[in-house]
Amino acid sequence: MSEPVPLTDRFGRVHRNLRVSVTDRCNIRCSYCMPADVVQFKPRQEILRFEEIERFVRAVVPWGIHRIRITGGEPLVRRDVATLVRRLARVPGVDDLAMTTNGMLLDHYAAPLRRAGLQRLNISLDAIRAETFQRIARRTGLDRVMAGIDAARQVGFDKIRLNAVSLIGTTEEEVIPLAEFARSRDLELRFIEFMPLDAEGRWQPDGVLSGAAVRGLLEAHFGPLAPLPRDDPSQPAVDFAYADGTGRVGFINPVTEPFCGDCNRLRLSAEGQLRSCLFSTENWDVRALLRGGASDAAITDLTRACLMAKKAGRGTDDFEFVRPPHAMYQLGG
């Protein structure tokens, strides 16, 4: 029997990672992601059902997809999301199953998610001070996030990563407290540059607090950071160890240091649209195939067509760059 042909784009990038958004809804309103108030969410009937998500995953796993990340919106506002985790964890070939959450509901769901087979957690935490947290999230709830982090640790999640979006003029004073918090709890911290995917369209290049600037703040306080080898060439973060050997910190710099050349990610939106890039302006309608009785071969063909249209880079530094019509919460991060 011939070997399966991997999901490869026209630039030779082999795709192993799938981000699956399960909802466009969220219980906070981060300024870099969602509108402050009125949001038009997708009607329930347009959102993929769990069995449809599982069907898509089973169709693409034989072609090399083996890492799945569940995202949103906020995935924990999707009712019974642990059921989806359980279904995906049982798919042969899925050997890494993770979730990105804001942590607001995690104290209630950490144990069910762990039992269902979730292996890793990324928790968004942009600030350690309540005032700054509320300024960014436009909601209160830092105490709930902290409770969620504690609950995740207590039930045995040992690969917890904190994601902190860096906003110039807002989060500079949070850098050191965030690092100290992560180091004291053996959590990995990653700082992420602000991308032009905010719903209100306020992103400007001069609003980006660069990864280099954040690194400078850390080194001024903790001493030189030592670069670490990359476990996976396709990972977007560049990781470092602290000078005293306590913990590690990473930087995801999509604006100042694009990493498109190593990208191996596909994204399935909550309403069943496949995208090859966060910044893609084209969608491939998986939902229509799933609800139209299409074969696995047809689903795979659509996935390959999506990949063949993938560009070499997202082009935010190009004069021809066109900002996508969707915000982060509609795409799945």
Q: What is the pLDDT of residue 321?
A: 54
As a whole number of angstroms, the distance between CA 294 and CA 112 comes to: 33
The amino acid at 310: K
Question: Percent helix, strand, coil in the chain (nearest 5)?
Answer: 35, 15, 50
Cβ neighbors of 158 (< 8 A, separation 6 or more) are none
Least confident segment among 44-53, 117-126, 230-239: 230-239
As a whole number of angstroms, the distance between CA 116 and CA 46 comes to: 26
Per-residue pLDDT for 141 more than 50? yes
Residue 164 DSSP label:
E
**Is the distance from CB of 177 to CB of 132 less than 8 angstroms?**
no
Peptide bond before 73: cis, by omega within 30 degrees of 0?
yes
Q: What is the largest CA-CA distance in the chain?
A: 60
Q: What is the pLDDT of residue 36?
A: 84
| Nearest one of 69, 67, 136, 81 to 109, comparing CA atoms | 81
17-331 CATH fold: TIM Barrel (3.20.20)
As a whole number of angstroms, the distance between CA 122 and CA 303 comes to: 26
Q: What is the pLDDT of residue 248?
A: 95
Report pTM. 0.94
Q: Where are the domains of the chain?
A: 17-331
As a whole number of angstroms, the distance between CA 46 and CA 197 comes to: 22
As a whole number of angstroms, the distance between CA 97 and CA 110 comes to: 14
Q: Which residues pair with 21 in a beta bridge?
A: 71
The count of residues in the chain is: 333
CA 210 distance to own-chain centroid: 19
Tracing tokens 């939902």 back to the chain, one arrives at 287
Q: What is the pLDDT of residues 286-333, one digit of tens each?
A: 999 999 999 999 999 999 999 999 999 865 445 455 666 666 666 666
Virtual CA dihedral for 223, 229, 230, 231, nearest 10 degrees? -120
- With pLDDT > 70 as the criterion, what percentage of the chain qualifies? 92
Per-residue pLDDT for 258 more than 60? yes
Q: What is the pLDDT of residues 186-199, one digit of tens each?
A: 999 999 999 887 77
